[in-house]
Amino acid sequence: MTPFLTMWDAESRLGGRLVLDATDVLVETGEFVAVVGPNGAGKSSLIRAFAGLLPVTGGIVRLKGDDIRTLSPRERAERVAYLPQERRIAWNLPAIEVAALGAPFLAVEAAHERALKALAEIEAAHLADRGVAEMSGGERARVLLARAFATNAQALLVDEPIAGLDPDAQLMVLERLRARADAGQAVLASLHDLPLAARFAHRVLVMEHGRVAADAAPPQALTPEILQRVFGLSAQWIDGPDGPLLSAGRRHSPPDGSTTEPPGA
Amino acid sequence: MSGAAGRLILILALAIAAATALAVLFGESAFDAGQLAQAFTDPSSGPAEVLWAVRAPRAVTALMVGAALGLSGAVMQGLLRNPLADPGVLGVSALAALGAALAIVLGWAALPGAVEVAALAGAGLAGGLLVLFSARVRSPEALILFGVAVSSFAGAATALIFNLSPSPIATAEVMGWLLGSVENRSWIDVAWVSPAVLASAALSAFAAPGLRMLSLGEETARTSGLPMARLRLMALLAAALATGAAVAVAGVIGFVGLAAPHLVRTAVRGDPGRLLLPSALAGGLMLVLADLLARMTPTDQELKLGVFTALVGAPLFALIAWRAAREWRL
C-alpha cells in the first residue's frame, strides 16, 4: 500500500467561511475511507479539493505524489474519478451513453463495452438502453456511479454515493466500493449513514468545521465521545448480526456545547 | 451514429434538395414548361436570369443562414445545458444586430465587409458575456434572464440609434434589415456566409465531445480529462461565428435556432454532440421552406422572412415546448 491521495495542512474558503482548516488527509491504494460529519462540516469540500475543483489557498494536495496543480486535466482524470452529489443530467441520454462518458478517450465500441461492464457491476445492465429522464432518482444515481466506475481511474472520489438509494441498493453500492478498494483502488466516499460507514470502510474520517476530528478504524473513530461532540448524539454501538448498529438519540443541545434544557424538563 | 440519426440526416438532406429545387422553380413570376426548359438550356434568357441569378442564390442564402442558426442553437443549448438557449433568446442576435446597425448609421456600409464584421463583433461580444456570466452563475434560469437583459439592452440601444439617426434613409435601411430577409441576395452573399458556416461547423465538430460531456454538469466535465476550457471556447466561437454570419447576411431571424434542435433531439436520443449536424440541416430546411412560403404568400408587400418565421415559429415552438416539458423536469 502506498499513499495515493495526500492533503497536508490544507486551507480553503468558500464565501469567507473556512471549509478546510489545517486539514491533513492520507488515503492509500487499496483503502476505502469514509468521510462523515454533520452538514457543512467540509466533507464535500475535502472531496472536491482532491478532484481539483476546490483550490486550496494553503497547504498542498497531491495525487500519487504529484501536486494536483501541476497535472494536466487528462493526467488528473487518470488518477481520480469524481462523482458529485448533484445528479442532474441535462439531456435524456440512454444510460449506456452516460456510462460511456467515463471513457471519452476510447473508440465508441470500446467505450460502450466498458460502460456495459460498469452498469453490470452496479446491477443496472437492464437500464442500458433506457433514457435517464425516464428513470427514478435512485436509478439515475446508479448510472452516474457506473460512469465513475467506467473511468478506470486509480482513485474514486464519491460524494454521498448512496443518498436516495433504496436499502438494498445502498448495501450493493457500498459492497462494490469496498470490492474496488480491495482490488487496489483508493476510495474516498462521504456518507451520512454512520452504521454503514462503520461496516464497510477500512477507515473513517470525521470532519468538523473543516477540521479532521478523528481519523482511525471505525470503532476508534466513531467513539461515543466523538458522536456526542461532533454530531450531538447520545449514542452507543450494539453488535448486530450483520455488523455494528448505532442506538442514538439527540442530545438536546447544539454541538457547540451550550446546553439547553429539553422542552418540558 | 445510430440508425435513427443516420436515417434522419438522409431524410433531411433529401428534403433540402427537394425544397431548394422548389424554391428555384417557383416564384412570383410563374413560368410555363417551355420557359423553364429555356432556363436550363439558354443561360442568357430571361427565365435563366430569374432562376439562376435571383432565386437560386436566394434559396442557397436561406439554406446557409438557416443552417447557421440551427447549428448555433444546437451548440448553445449543449454548451449551456439549457433547452431554452438560442441566439435570439440569449441576446447574441440582438448584439449582432446592434453592431450592424451601428456600422450602417456610421456610414460604413460602403466599405465591403464592414457591416458583416460589425455583426460578427457584436455576436462575439455577446458570446463572451455569456461565458463570463455562466462561469460564475450555475443556474440555467439565471442565464436565460441574463440573456433577456442583454437582448433588451441591445434592442434599446438599436432603438436609440434610430432615435438619434440624422438620416431617415439609414434608419429605413437598418429597420428593413432588422426584420430579417434573404430578398435580393446574390452569389456574393452566399460566398460571404458559406465559409463562416463551414468554419463554425468544423469548430463545433471538434467541440462535440465537450458538449456531450457537459450533459453531466460543469464539475464532472471539468474532472473528465477532456480539455474543457479549450472545447468550451471552440463551441462558443462556433456559435458566435454562425450567428454573426447569419445576422450579417440576413438580419435578425428568430426561432430557427430555438426550434431546430428540438425537432431532431429525439432522433439522436438527446446527445448534444450528435445533434449538431441534424439540427443544422433542419434549420436550413426550415428557412428554405419558410422563404418559399413567404414569397408565395399573396400580399402587396412581400412578407419579411424574419416576420414570417416568428409568426409561424412561435406557435410551433409553443407546441414543441409543451410536448418536451416532461424531459426538462430533471
Residue among A92, A127, A139, A188 with most chain B CBs within 10 A, to mutate: A92
The structural domains of chain B, ordered by start, are 3-328 (1.10.3470.10)
Please provide the average confidence, as pLDDT, over all residues in chain B: 87
Confidence of residue B308 (pLDDT cuts 50, 70, 90): confident
What b/e sequence results for B266-305 when a residue is b if at least 16 CB atoms lie within 10 Å of its CB, and e otherwise? Answer: ebbbbbbbbbbbbbbbbbbbbbbbbbbebbeeeeeeebbb
> Higher confidence at residue A226 or residue B161?
A226
Average of pLDDT values for B62-85? Answer: 92
Which pLDDT score is estimated for B152? 93
* Helix (H), strand (E) at residue A171: helix A167-182
- Asked if B210 reaches chain A (Cβ–Cβ under 8 Å), the answer is no
Size of interface A-B (CB pairs under 8 A): 89
CB atoms within 10 A of CB A164: 14
Which pLDDT score is estimated for B128? 86
The pLDDT tens digits of the residues spanning B9-37 come to 999 999 999 999 999 988 877 788 888 88
pLDDT at B328 over 80: no
Rounded to 5 degrees, φ, ψ at B275 are -75, -25
Contacts with B219 from chain A: Cβ below 8 Å: 48, 51, 53, 82, 84, 86
Q: Is residue A163 assigned to a domain?
A: no
User: Distance from first CA to last CA of chain B, Å, rounded?
Assistant: 25
Which pLDDT score is estimated for A260? 47
Q: Is residue A139 assigned to a domain?
A: yes
Average of pLDDT values for B207-223? Answer: 94
Q: Is residue A203 assigned to a domain?
A: no
Q: Is residue A60 assigned to a domain?
A: no
Mention every residue, 6+ apart, whose C-beta is less than 8 A from residue A215.
Answer: A25, A203, A204, A205, A206, A221
Q: Is residue A98 assigned to a domain?
A: yes
Q: Is residue A238 assigned to a domain?
A: no
Inter-chain residue contact B217 with A93, CB threshold 8 Å: no
Contact B63, B288 (CB under 8 A): yes
Of A103-117, B32-46, B196-210, B280-294, the poorest mean pLDDT is in: B32-46
Alpha helices (H) in chain B, listed in sequence order: 3-25, 33-41, 46-48, 56-80, 92-105, 114-136, 140-164, 168-178, 187-213, 218-222, 228-250, 256-265, 276-296, 305-328
Inter-chain residue contact B272 with A74, CB threshold 8 Å: no
- Asked if B69 reaches chain A (Cβ–Cβ under 8 Å), the answer is no
Question: Angle at CA B260, nearest 5°, toward B86 and B149?
Answer: 15
Which pLDDT score is estimated for A118? 97
* Helix (H), strand (E) at residue A97: helix A95-100
Q: Is residue A124 assigned to a domain?
A: yes
Sign of the dihedral defined by the CA atoms of residues B297, B303, B305, B308, in that order: negative
Closest C-alpha among A113, A190, A132 to residue A156? A190
Of A66-80, B84-98, B260-274, the poorest mean pLDDT is in: B84-98
Inter-chain residue contact A77 with B224, CB threshold 8 Å: yes
> Higher confidence at residue B36 or residue B286?
B286
**Percentage of the residues of chain B whose pLDDT score is greater than 90:** 43
Which pLDDT score is estimated for B300? 76
> Higher confidence at residue B320 or residue B19?
B19
> Higher confidence at residue B168 or residue A8?
A8
Contacts with B271 from chain A: Cβ below 8 Å: 91, 93, 97
Confidence of residue B327 (pLDDT cuts 50, 70, 90): low
Inter-chain residue contact B81 with A90, CB threshold 8 Å: yes
Which pLDDT score is estimated for A265? 39
- Asked if B139 reaches chain A (Cβ–Cβ under 8 Å), the answer is no
Which pLDDT score is estimated for A261? 47
Inter-chain residue contact A90 with B225, CB threshold 8 Å: no
Inter-chain residue contact B217 with A131, CB threshold 8 Å: no
Contact A22, A191 (CB under 8 A): no
Q: Is residue A128 assigned to a domain?
A: yes
C-alpha cell recorded at residue B187 = 452569389
CA of A74 vs chain B CAs: smallest distance (Å): 4
Number of domains, chain A: 1
The domain of A105 spans 90-152
Closest C-alpha among A151, A164, A203, A217 to residue A34? A203
Which pLDDT score is estimated for B127? 85
Cα(B271)–Cα(B248) distance, rounded to whole angstroms?
Answer: 30
Rounded to 5 degrees, φ, ψ at B32 are -85, 175
For chain A, which ranges sit under pLDDT 70? 1, 252-265
Sign of the dihedral defined by the CA atoms of residues B150, B151, B154, B155, in that order: negative
